[in-house]
């Protein structure tokens, strides 16, 4: 018999003796019989919680796993909170799911519980991108919504992202209040799974059409696209939901030469052609880039399984396909959008953009040059949505983005949108080609105008309960002994978002951070030096990881110096990583 502490044993006994299905109980008995203590501990040591991306975890039995009962409890808790928040209202929700294994099942369970509690459900009949769900919430005047997805995580994972009535992911107090309602559910028999079919309506192409009309209405260069309609684009959906809308969006925008990677076009939760269905990963784009080489394409686009994030590859100065990171993609989109708005005479001082605190400060510089406010918010696109809600009806949102390959254009959705992003990245490529330059040339010109900004991300994975404790110890040590200098440049500012206090280590002056929507207490540290280097440390809210974000910059005097400056900045970041003991 395995040896587990009393609290864990109580949780295990609850599942073995409670109203759980026999298959789940048999799995737990097998884990006990085989003395698999580590697996039992990880499965039961805590309850899944809402992080920056909602509920997310490995699929399987246990309170710390994605399964019928954790999904059911999350939905019951959300139902209970909605009824308290909108007393007397005829509640409505929208539900969508991605291509992951068990996603249709979890979506159906979510619909079961909502309808059983008397809530009207609008259910996407087939898999659809996350931004379509965000749009549907607003379009159908829903009070909430849920998409079943684990975004770009490995195939073992699934997730549950909850949205509020503005189409944005839930933030405080709604996320915390919902989880309190979930925690109040002590047994599976407190969850009503008795589906009411009469309260469920099914969504199809009519929502697709309405959503795509909004995407197309944002275009700023339709006449250029008409001239460059033969721009050669290779697109891969990485076995995800993007295949349902991205090719349609590109075609309706006017692009006539789009090539889909056929081997990755079929939705499949096993993601058979990639190790990791993440457009940040070079390997994930390997097949698309190879097809682009064969076709001599202009642009490669790749979306993650729920099509809220996009990765791209373009030809560099040597004609070789080069992947751009999320900071570069966000920066070039901001660079293009603000320039196009400026040329169209649409900037009057009332517009704004939003980015996260770990996203490149190059975006701030571009916004400042165009006299457009750029607000910085905590990591997680829900905070960009919160800023949009705060300013709704008073100011005009142009776009928002984050370094992790998420971007949003226009305000009809309130979460990152790879469908609209693909459309606009293609538009940027068309505009560049129409000017007789490449996409990469436009990127280089941006650096010539605003400095060459270079960012790098280092991620340490620490799994299980012991890993979570190790991550907390790392953050505590950084707080006790922050670096005094980085690569020879003194640290002039330490921002501790857990206390919302910033400190100058050189003068030991402490002061509270300026209050801003989208900034609340969070376990994040930032170190800023005299030469513009910035390091951010942040435990992930959705994965067993701690992330370190590095940003450095210096002028780019000539386009011919691109590679030399890039190598210099890369060496500088590596030196800072080594100084912090992270290499």
Measured CA to CA, the distance from residue 164 to residue 144 in angstroms comes to 5
Question: What would you measure as the largest C-alpha separation in the chain, in angstroms?
Answer: 73
Measured CA to CA, the distance from residue 111 to residue 199 in angstroms comes to 9
8-state DSSP, 284: G
Cβ distance 247 to 235 under 8 Å?
A: yes
8-state DSSP, 359: S
Token digits of residue 530: 């005299």
Cβ distance 301 to 312 under 8 Å?
A: yes
Three-class secondary structure of residue 186 per DSSP: coil
How would you class 105 by CB atoms within 10 Å of its CB: exposed for 0-12, middle for 13-18, buried for 19 or more? middle
Residue 400: closest CA among 302, 318, 334, 317: 334
Measured CA to CA, the distance from residue 498 to residue 501 in angstroms comes to 8
Cβ distance 225 to 253 under 8 Å?
A: yes
Residue 81: closest CA among 161, 160, 158, 184: 184
Residue 425: closest CA among 240, 168, 249: 249
Token digits of residue 310: 């996009």
Q: List % helix, strand, coil for the chain (3-state, nearest 5).
A: 40, 20, 35
- Indicate which residue of 151, 404, 438, 522 is catalytic: 151
Is 115 annotated as catalytic? no
DSSP string across 464-489: HHHHHHHHHHHHHHHHHS--SEETTE
Which residues pair with residue 122 across a beta bridge?
94, 201
Token digits of residue 10: 């109580």
Active site residues: 151
């Amino acid at each position: 018999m395995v040896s587990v502490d009393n609290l864990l044993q109580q949780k295990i006994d609850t599942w073995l003796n409670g109203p759980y299905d026999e298959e789940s109980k048999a799995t737990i008995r097998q884990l006990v019989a085989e003395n698999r203590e580590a697996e039992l501990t990880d499965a039961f040591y805590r309850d899944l919680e809402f992080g920056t991306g909602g509920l997310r975890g490995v699929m399987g039995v246990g309170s710390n796993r994605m399964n019928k009962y954790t999904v059911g409890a999350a939905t019951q808790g959300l139902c209970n909170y909605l009824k308290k928040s909108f007393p007397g209202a005829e509640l409505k929700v929208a539900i969508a799911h991605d291509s992951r294994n068990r996603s249709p099942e979890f979506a159906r369970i979510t619909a079961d519980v909502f309808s059983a509690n008397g809530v009207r459900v609008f259910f996407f009949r087939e898999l659809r991108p996350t931004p379509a769900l965000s749009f549907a919430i607003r379009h159908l005047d829903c009070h909430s919504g849920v998409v079943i997805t684990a975004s770009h995580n490995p195939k073992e994972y699934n997730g549950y992202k909850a949205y509020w009535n503005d189409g944005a992911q839930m933030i405080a107090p709604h996320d915390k209040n919902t989880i309190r309602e979930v925690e109040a559910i002590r047994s599976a028999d407190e969850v009503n799974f008795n589906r009411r079919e009469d309260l469920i309506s099914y969504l199809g192409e009519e929502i697709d059409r309405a959503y795509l009309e909004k995407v197309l209405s944002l275009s700023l260069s339709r006449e250029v696209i008409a001239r460059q309609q033969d721009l050669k684009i290779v697109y891969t959906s990485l076995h995800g939901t993007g295949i349902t809308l991205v090719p349609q969006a590109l075609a309706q925008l006017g692009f006539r030469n789009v090539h889909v990677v056929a081997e990755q076009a079929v939705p499949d939760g096993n993601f058979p052609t990639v190790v990791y269905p993440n457009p940040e990963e070079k390997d994930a784009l390997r097949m698309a880039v190879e097809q682009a080489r064969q076709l001599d394409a202009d642009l490669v686009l790749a979306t993650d399984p729920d099509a809220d994030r996009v990765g791209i590859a373009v030809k560099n100065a040597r004609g070789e396909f080069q992947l751009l990171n999320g900071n570069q993609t966000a920066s070039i989109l901001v660079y293009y959008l603000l320039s196009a708005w400026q040329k169209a005479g649409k900037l009057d001082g009332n517009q704004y953009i939003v980015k996260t605190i770990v996203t490149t400060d190059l975006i701030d510089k571009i916004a400042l040059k165009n006299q457009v406010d750029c607000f910085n918010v905590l990591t997680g696109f829900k905070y960009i949505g919160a800023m949009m809600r705060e300013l709704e009806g008073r100011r005009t949102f142009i776009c928002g983005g984050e370094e992790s390959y998420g971007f949003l254009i226009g305000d009809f959705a309130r979460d990152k949108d790879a469908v609209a992003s693909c459309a606009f990245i293609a538009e940027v490529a068309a505009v560049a080609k129409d000017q007789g330059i490449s996409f990469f040339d436009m990127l280089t010109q941006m650096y010539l105008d605003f400095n060459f900004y270079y960012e790098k991300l280092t991620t340490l994975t620490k799994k299980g309960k012991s890993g979570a404790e190790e991550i907390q110890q790392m953050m505590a040590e950084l707080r006790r002994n922050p670096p005094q200098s980085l690569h020879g440049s003194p640290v002039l500012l330490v921002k501790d978002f857990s206390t919302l206090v910033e400190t100058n280590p050189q003068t030991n002056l402490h002061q509270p951070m300026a209050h801003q929507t989208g900034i609340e207490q969070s376990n994040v540290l930032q170190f800023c030096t005299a030469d513009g280097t910035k390091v951010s440390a942040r435990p992930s809210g959705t994965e067993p990881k701690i992330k370190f974000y590095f940003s450095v910059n210096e002028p780019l005097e000539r386009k011919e110096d691109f590679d030399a400056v890039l190598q210099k900045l890369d060496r500088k970041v590596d030196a800072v990583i080594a100084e912090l003991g992270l290499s």
